[in-house]
């Protein structure tokens, strides 16, 4: 990747997380790094020079000559570093006070405090990593699941970059042909073989773009998890279900309808997928103001749900409220949870099975914790598709920024297809091709505007 003009000052920050740890690291990057090291660090064995990528043992002293800590110091000479600049790391004891004291000395020597994500931004500006890899660094730091970590590592190793690069290459090939046709207008017919070009467009550009877009949703789910809302009329056993899934008496359970007033949210992990479980007030019409507020809140939570667990009571006939509530789910994904198998009424069960035959139904006994594994299995499949371990199958997952750009690029390709099919002149083809190319350049950071870059790197923590 081509480098953008880099900045020339030297930055420093604490790179390890706040709090107490075994060791803590201060990171310095820029042309003055080695000079600061020589000024602040006193090695136990005297050295006239610091060899690159070697650890040295010594002390850091403050401006009064007082030893701040014993440290290991490493100087890493450009360009074989994270930022491609000269980098120094000081490994001290992991007390935040010590780290702050050392950082203060580095800043007093003339370094500037690094902004959030500035080390990674420098790696990007120097052309060491493209923008998708820089984004993978944030994803990796923020990943909450195994699936999220795997996607981030794949992206860090260039999975998305390479796919985008190969689509760009195909676009460049077509553009080269079109440009020849523009330069030699008389040979127009021979140079542009429309059938062949349409085939290339489909196979090497449109199809891969569509595939990438189709992975975005699963990627989002693996990275961010989903919200699952438990709903149903009062007393069907929603809170008992929540408690069963949490294996904890988190919500109050009583035989009095209307027990749950407020919503209760807890995070669980389903085979590594983060699931925000929400128990809600049983929905019915009521005069009680507090219950009414709870019901209002429950309805709002339903809107936000990625998936609804619609709980019914197998010991009771279906009621008007059950049916109304079911209708209010609209297009929401749902699983019908049939609770109270221990006291099930066969007539009620048959009626429910029939009425909801289109939906996935799972029978449970919440009070005894039975059927919960099957329910989680159904939930996982419902969210990630029948194949189950989908995380194994998607090689990369564009985030929202990528997806919006991929869709624009795809729209430009469809425009190109139309232009080709109507036999428009070569210079019009070039416009569409260039547009599709420019969009893809935004994904990897070739043409990304500065404000987008700033917003992106500001999501990092300081020191990364």
Ligand X SMILES: Nc1nc2c(ncn2[C@@H]2O[C@H](COP(=O)(O)OP(=O)(O)OP(=O)(O)O)[C@@H](O)[C@H]2O)c(=O)[nH]1
| Residues making contact with ligand X (CB under 6 A) | 232, 234-240, 253-255, 257-260, 281-282, 339-340, 342-343, 365-367
**Among the listed residues 115, 113, 114, 158, the one whose alpha carbon sits nearest the alpha carbon of residue 135:** 158
Residue 134 contacts which entry, ligand X, Mg ion, none (Cβ below 5-8 A, type-dependent) = none
Residue 343 contacts which entry, ligand X, Mg ion, none (Cβ below 5-8 A, type-dependent) = ligand X
Nearer to ligand X, 232 or 445 (CB): 232
Q: Is 269 helix (H, G, I), strand (E, B) or coil?
A: strand
Identify the bridge partners of residue 71 per DSSP, sorted by sequence position: 58
Nearer to Mg ion, 250 or 381 (CB): 250
> In the range 255-314, which residues lie near Mg ion by CB under 5 A?
259-260
Measured from the CB of residue 378, what is the shortest distance to ligand X in angstroms?
A: 17
Contact call for residue 10 and Mg ion (CB under 5 A): no
Parallel/antiparallel/unpaired status of strands 264-270 and 334-339: unpaired
CA–CA gap between residue 74 and residue 58 (Å, rounded): 11
Nearer to Mg ion, 260 or 419 (CB): 260
Nearer to ligand X, 68 or 362 (CB): 362
Parallel/antiparallel/unpaired status of strands 11-14 and 21-29: antiparallel
- The helix (H) or strand (E) run that includes residue 230 is strand 226-231
Q: Is 271 helix (H, G, I), strand (E, B) or coil?
A: coil
Residue 174 contacts which entry, ligand X, Mg ion, none (Cβ below 5-8 A, type-dependent) = none
Quick check: bond before 79 cis, omega within 30? yes
Are the CB atoms for 275 and 269 separated by under 8 Å? yes
Nearer to Mg ion, 70 or 288 (CB): 288
How many CB atoms are closer than 10 A to CB 207? 12
CA–CA gap between residue 120 and residue 114 (Å, rounded): 11
Q: Is 365 helix (H, G, I), strand (E, B) or coil?
A: strand
Measured from the CB of residue 346, what is the shortest distance to ligand X in angstroms?
A: 16
Residue 294 contacts which entry, ligand X, Mg ion, none (Cβ below 5-8 A, type-dependent) = none
Measured from the CB of residue 336, what is the shortest distance to ligand X in angstroms?
A: 15
**Among the listed residues 378, 369, 380, the one whose alpha carbon sits nearest the alpha carbon of residue 242:** 369
Residue 257 contacts which entry, Mg ion, ligand X, none (Cβ below 5-8 A, type-dependent) = ligand X
Measured from the CB of residue 321, what is the shortest distance to ligand X in angstroms?
A: 11
Identify the bridge partners of residue 70 per DSSP, sorted by sequence position: 59
Q: Which of 145, 239, 391, 448 binds Mg ion (CB under 5 A)?
A: 239
Measured from the CB of residue 215, what is the shortest distance to Mg ion in angstroms?
A: 38
Measured from the CB of residue 308, what is the shortest distance to ligand X in angstroms?
A: 14
CA–CA gap between residue 317 and residue 393 (Å, rounded): 43
Closest residue to ligand X, judged by C-beta, is: 282
As given in the structure block, the two tokens for residue 9 are: 């000052």
Nearer to Mg ion, 95 or 259 (CB): 259
Residue 235 contacts which entry, ligand X, Mg ion, none (Cβ below 5-8 A, type-dependent) = ligand X
Q: Is 69 helix (H, G, I), strand (E, B) or coil?
A: strand
Measured from the CB of residue 341, what is the shortest distance to ligand X in angstroms?
A: 7
CA–CA gap between residue 436 and residue 204 (Å, rounded): 13
DSSP notation for 87-133: EEEEEEEE-HHHHHHHHHHHHHTT-EEPPBTHHHHHHHHTTSS-HHH
Are the CB atoms for 439 and 114 separated by under 8 Å? no
Measured from the CB of residue 284, what is the shortest distance to ligand X in angstroms?
A: 8
- Tell me the backbone φ, ψ of residue 245, rounded to 5 degrees: -70, -30
Nearer to ligand X, 145 or 239 (CB): 239
Burial classification of residue 354, based on how many CB atoms lie within 10 Å of its CB (0-12 exposed, 13-18 middle, 19 or more buried):
exposed
As given in the structure block, the two tokens for residue 453 are: 């870059």
Name the segment binding Mg ion (CB under 5 A); options: 254-262, 286-294, 389-397, 451-459. 254-262
Nearer to Mg ion, 128 or 238 (CB): 238
Q: DSSP state, 187?
A: G
Nearer to Mg ion, 120 or 239 (CB): 239
Measured from the CB of residue 253, what is the shortest distance to Mg ion in angstroms?
A: 7
Nearer to ligand X, 321 or 428 (CB): 321
Parallel/antiparallel/unpaired status of strands 334-339 and 307-313: parallel
Measured from the CB of residue 267, what is the shortest distance to ligand X in angstroms?
A: 19
Where on the chain is the footprint of Mg ion (CB under 5 A)?
238-239, 259-260
């Amino acid at each position: 990747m081509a480098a953008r003009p880099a900045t020339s000052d030297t930055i420093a920050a604490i790179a390890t997380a706040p709090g107490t740890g075994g060791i803590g690291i201060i990171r310095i990057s820029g042309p003055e790094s080695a000079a600061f090291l020589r000024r602040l660090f006193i090695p136990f064995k005297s050295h006239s020079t610091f060899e690159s990528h070697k650890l040295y043992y010594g002390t850091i002293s403050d401006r009064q000559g007082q030893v701040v800590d014993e440290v290991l110091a490493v100087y890493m000479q450009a360009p074989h570093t994270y930022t491609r600049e000269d980098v120094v790391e000081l490994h001290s004891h992991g007390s935040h006070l010590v780290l702050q004291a050392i950082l203060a000395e580095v800043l007093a020597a003339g370094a500037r405090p690094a902004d959030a994500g500035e080390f990674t931004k420098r790696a990007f500006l120097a052309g060491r990593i493209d923008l998708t890899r820089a984004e993978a660094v944030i994803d990796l730091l923020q990943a909450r699941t195994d699936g999220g970590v795997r996607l981030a590592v794949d992206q860090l190793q260039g999975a998305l970059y390479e796919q985008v690069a190969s689509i760009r290459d195909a676009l460049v090939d077509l553009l080269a042909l079109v440009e020849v046709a523009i330069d030699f207008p008389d040979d127009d017919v021979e140079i542009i073989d429309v059938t062949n070009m349409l085939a290339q467009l489909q196979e090497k550009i449109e199809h891969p773009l569509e595939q990438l877009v189709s992975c975005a949703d699963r990627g989002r789910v693996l990275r961010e998890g989903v919200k699952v809302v438990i709903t149903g009329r009062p007393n069907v056993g929603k809170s008992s279900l929540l408690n069963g899934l949490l294996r904890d008496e988190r919500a109050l359970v009583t035989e009095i309808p209307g027990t749950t007033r407020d919503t209760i949210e807890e995070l669980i992990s389903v085979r590594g997928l983060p699931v925000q479980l929400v128990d809600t007030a049983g929905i019915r019409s009521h005069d009680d103001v507090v219950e009414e507020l709870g019901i209002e809140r429950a309805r709002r939570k339903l809107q936000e749900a990625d998936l609804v667990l619609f709980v019914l009571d197998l010991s009771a006939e279906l009621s008007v409220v059950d049916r109304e509530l079911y209708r209010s789910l609209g297009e929401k994904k749902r699983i019908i949870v049939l609770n109270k198998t221990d006291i099930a009424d066969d007539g009620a069960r048959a009626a429910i099975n029939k009425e909801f035959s289109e939906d996935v139904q799972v029978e449970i006994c919440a009070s005894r914790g039975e059927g919960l594994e099957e329910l989680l299995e159904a939930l996982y499949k419902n969210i990630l598709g029948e194949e189950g371990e989908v995380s194994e199958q998607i090689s990369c997952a564009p985030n929202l920024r990528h997806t919006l750009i991929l869709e624009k690029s795809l729209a430009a390709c469809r425009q190109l297809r139309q232009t080709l099919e109507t036999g428009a002149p070569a210079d019009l083809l070039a416009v569409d091709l260039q547009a599709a190319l420019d969009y893809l350049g935004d994904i990897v950071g070739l043409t990304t505007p500065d404000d987008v870059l700033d917003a992106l790197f500001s999501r990092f923590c300081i020191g990364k």
